């Protein structure tokens, strides 16, 4: 099973100014998060951001925040508890009608927007917010892909324990380059050269 850009959404979690200095391999993790956001833009993949308790941990780093058209502020560690699921899978609106509408059995069903059921997720801390959000998304029947080189925790042990648990729960563990080349699928993709320059 490969990632499909047309079915994907990207969530960049909690790359916040007061948290990142304490994170293991923080510079590498932020660099990969920015690459993911730029890749998503090139491939027309929606990008969402989250911020955990921003009054204490600060807002997202500017280079990450600029890639997220919408950012969810949260207090729960799982962003799903704060409404992320509704952002990723908005409820279907009922068809509106009036007195002159056709009877229901003669109406054509409303065309629904293509569901993007694959969530690519990266962020901090891997063993807290990323883990709890990913587990809730799996429970809500999303396909969850965790980008390991764009995730971390304050300690390497906590980060690695999160990856073990996520893999056991059914999340796919990938790297930034795996995401890039699976979204592309071919060197003939119009965005290939632009993606290649981001990876190098």
In a domain, 19, yes or no: yes
Give the tokens for residue 44.
Answer: 């027309």
Whether residue 49 lies inside any domain: the answer is: yes
Domain tally, the chain:
1
Within a domain: 105: no
In a domain, 106, yes or no: no
pLDDT digits (tens, 9 = 90+) for 72-104: 999 999 999 999 999 999 876 665 555 555 555
For residue 157, being part of any structural domain is answered with: yes
Domain that holds residue 30: 5-89+115-199
Please give the Cα distance from 189 to 146 (Å, whole number): 24
- pLDDT of 115 reads 83
Q: Could you tell me which of 161, 149, 135 has the C-alpha nearest to residue 81?
A: 135
Instruction: Establish if 102 belongs to a structural domain.
Output: no
Mean pLDDT, rounded, for 102-115: 52
Calculate what percentage of the chain has a pLDDT beyond 90: 84
Of 163, 133, 135, 182, the residue nearest 14 (C-alpha): 133
Task: Report yes or no on 96 lying in a domain.
Answer: no
**Rounded to an integer, what distance in angstroms lies between the CA atom of residue 165 and that of residue 182?**
24
The CA distance from 175 to 151, in Å, is 10
> Domain holding 173: CATH number?
3.40.50.850
Is 150 inside any structural domain?
yes
Residues 63-77, mean pLDDT to the nearest whole number:
97
Per-residue model confidence as pLDDT tens digits over 169-178? 999 999 999 9
User: Does pLDDT of 9 surpass 50?
Assistant: yes
* pTM for the structure as a whole: 0.88
Q: Is 83 left (phi over 0), alpha (psi -120 to 50) or beta?
A: left
Question: Residue 59, preceding bond cis, omega within 30 degrees?
Answer: no
């Amino acid at each position: 099973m490969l990632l499909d850009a047309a079915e994907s959404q990207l969530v960049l979690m909690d790359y916040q100014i007061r948290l990142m200095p304490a994170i293991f391999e923080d510079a590498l993790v932020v660099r990969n998060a920015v690459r993911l956001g730029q890749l998503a833009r090139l491939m027309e993949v929606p990008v969402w951001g989250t911020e955990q308790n921003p009054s204490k941990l600060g807002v997202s780093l500017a280079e990450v925040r600029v890639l997220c058209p919408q950012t969810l502020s949260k207090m729960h560690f799982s962003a799903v508890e704060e409404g992320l699921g509704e952002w990723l899978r908005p409820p279907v609106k009922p068809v509106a009608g009036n007195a002159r509408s056709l009877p229901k059995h003669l109406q054509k069903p409303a065309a629904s927007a293509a569901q993007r059921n694959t969530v690519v997720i990266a962020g901090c801390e891997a063993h807290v917010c990323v883990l709890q959000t990913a587990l809730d998304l799996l429970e809500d029947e999303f396909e969850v892909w965790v980008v390991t080189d764009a995730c971390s925790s304050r300690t390497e042990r906590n980060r690695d324990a999160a990856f073990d648990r996520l893999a056991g729960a059914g999340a796919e563990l990938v790297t930034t380059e795996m995401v890039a080349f699976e979204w592309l699928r071919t060197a003939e993709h119009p965005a290939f050269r632009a993606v290649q320059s981001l990876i190098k």
